[in-house]
């Protein structure tokens, strides 16, 4: 059955791979599933046709026959459950991989998104200069712990899993801030993720659409 995902017609990052369709593309590449992409404009994603797929008018969405999903956590979980390659066989190891997916989305991503909001959406506000160090420290709190847990391992819990896919995808957003470089083990972890052939294919696919269209840097 053909899998169709949605992505920005023009991503604000101009193809740096930060739009969340990249993590879904990566998951599909890891498990070897072909997919098609429906591009949506910023205006179209708030119109009824897209709102039927995504109640909040965001991307990405995932269609597989009658099944329509939104939220990258749910989409990647579904992909990992349906196809070999992203979850371990052992039930406990699988539960731990899911735990890392949630940790990425619920514990690590929120302060990182706060930084994105502080820099881009609210960067012109008078309080921004005072607020930025606080936001960055909240991210550092998470990175210190994550780096300690990862230590010298390649991946968070044994072999590469959907937990790593999600964590690397979330950490990638930090590159421009320089914060990742303060944590060499995490910087190397992200680089390992980016070096996976499946990630490279996912990145190249979104870049082919977005190259040269940067709006937000
Ligand atoms: N929690 C959602 C977040 C989805 C999301 O924020 N998507 C962004 C693109 S990466 C979007 O559509 N932004 C456009 C907007 O905010 O209008 C997920 O993981 O799927």
Reported as a single tens digit per residue, the pLDDT across 164-208 is 999 999 999 999 899 999 999 999 999 999 999 999 999 999 999
Average pLDDT score over residue span 145-162: 98
82-130: per-residue pLDDT in tens? 999 999 999 999 999 999 999 999 999 999 999 999 988 888 888 888 9
Closest C-alpha to ligand 1, atom 12: 58
Ligand 1 closest atom vs CA 18: 10
159-169: per-residue pLDDT in tens? 999 999 999 99
Q: Which pLDDT score is estimated for 129? A: 87
Q: Which pLDDT score is estimated for 125? A: 87
Interior/surface letters 46-78, b for 16+ CB within 10 angstroms, e for the rest:
eeeebeebbeebbbbbbbbeeeebbbbbebbbb
Closest C-alpha to ligand 1, atom 20: 71
């Amino acid at each position: 059955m053909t899998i169709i995902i949605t992505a920005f017609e023009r991503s604000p990052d101009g193809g740096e791979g930060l739009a969340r369709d990249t993590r879904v593309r990566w998951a599909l590449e890891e498990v070897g599933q072909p997919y098609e992409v429906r591009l949506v404009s910023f205006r179209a994603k708030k119109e009824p046709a897209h709102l039927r797929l995504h109640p909040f008018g965001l991307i990405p969405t995932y269609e597989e026959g009658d099944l329509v999903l939104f939220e990258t956590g749910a989409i990647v979980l579904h992909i990992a459950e349906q196809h070999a390659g992203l979850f371990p066989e052992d039930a406990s190891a699988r539960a731990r991989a899911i735990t890392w997916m949630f940790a990425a989305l619920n514990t690590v991503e929120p302060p990182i998104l706060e930084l994105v909001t502080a820099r881009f959406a609210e960067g012109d506000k008078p309080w921004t200069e005072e607020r930025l160090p606080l936001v960055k420290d909240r991210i550092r709190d998470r990175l210190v712990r994550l780096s300690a847990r990862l230590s010298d391992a390649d991946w968070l819990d044994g072999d590469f899993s959907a937990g790593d896919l999600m964590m690397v995808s979330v950490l990638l957003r930090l590159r421009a801030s320089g914060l990742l470089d303060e944590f060499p083990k995490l910087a190397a972890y992200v680089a390992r993720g980016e070096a996976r052939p499946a990630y490279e294919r996912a990145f190249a696919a979104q870049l082919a659409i977005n190259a040269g269209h940067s709006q937000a840097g």
